[in-house]
Amino acid sequence: MRKLLNSELGRKSIKEYRNSGKSVFIIVLDNVRSHNNVGSVFRTADAFLTKKIFLCGITPKPPHRDIQKTALGATDSVEWSYYEKTTDAVIDLKAEGYKIIGIEQADGAVELQDFKIEKGHKYALVFGHEVNGVDQNVIDLCDMCIEIPQFGTKHSFNIAISAGIVLWEMNKNLTPTPLPRESD
């Protein structure tokens, strides 16, 4: 086994990324306060060909050096827009036919592994503030909530980790798992 060089990874250029087919997911960040978390979500969104990110409320916006530090250029590839109020973003997404899913510990939430993607639907995944989570006014507009099961003493994952877990789980249900690369 040998580690692959960056030149062997077949990465898309920004132009190729923008012209690629995107997933059925949009990410909504509801008052996420950390620049580093925002940058990490951009990087994860790029990896999963996420259609767009909506930055809402106090969520910091590019360009900012702390966002760029963790995004590693993904703010140039992933489309984004800003809304002062998360509820306005969610209302607009509902009008465009998106199912709104809060990623939150909520009464009646479905565990992530039990959620099934419905063909022909588009999804907006709402991730919340690092301490307070998704605001209740936003939860009230959601079609459902999904909870990531946890087994330790902590009650939540970091928002950037949550985005990675959720996008991985949902994308693996949309497309076949890539075949392993042949070793030389």
Any idea where the domains of the chain sit in the sequence? 19-149+156-174
Residue 178 has pLDDT above 80, yes or no: no
Q: Do residues 174 and 117 lie in contact, with contact meaning Cβ atoms separated by under 8 Å?
A: yes
CB under 8 Å to 137, separation ≥6 — which residues? 86, 87
| Beta bridge mates, 79 | 52
Q: How confident is the model at residue 172 (pLDDT cuts 50, 70, 90)?
A: confident
Q: How confident is the model at residue 184 (pLDDT cuts 50, 70, 90)?
A: very low
Task: Give this prediction's pTM.
Answer: 0.92
**pLDDT tens-place string over residues 131-149:** 999 999 999 999 999 999 9
**pLDDT tens-place string over residues 60-106:** 999 999 999 999 999 999 999 999 999 999 999 999 999 999 999 99
Residue 180 has pLDDT above 80, yes or no: no
Burial of 56 (0-12, 13-18, 19+ CB in 10 A): buried
**pLDDT tens-place string over residues 7-60:** 999 899 999 999 999 999 999 999 999 999 999 999 999 999 999 999 999 999
Domain 19-149+156-174 classified CATH 3.40.50.2000? no
Q: Write down the pLDDT at residue 175.
A: 54
Residue 181 has pLDDT above 90, yes or no: no
Rounded to an integer, what distance in angstroms lies between the CA atom of residue 44 and that of residue 154? 23
Q: How confident is the model at residue 124 (pLDDT cuts 50, 70, 90)?
A: very high
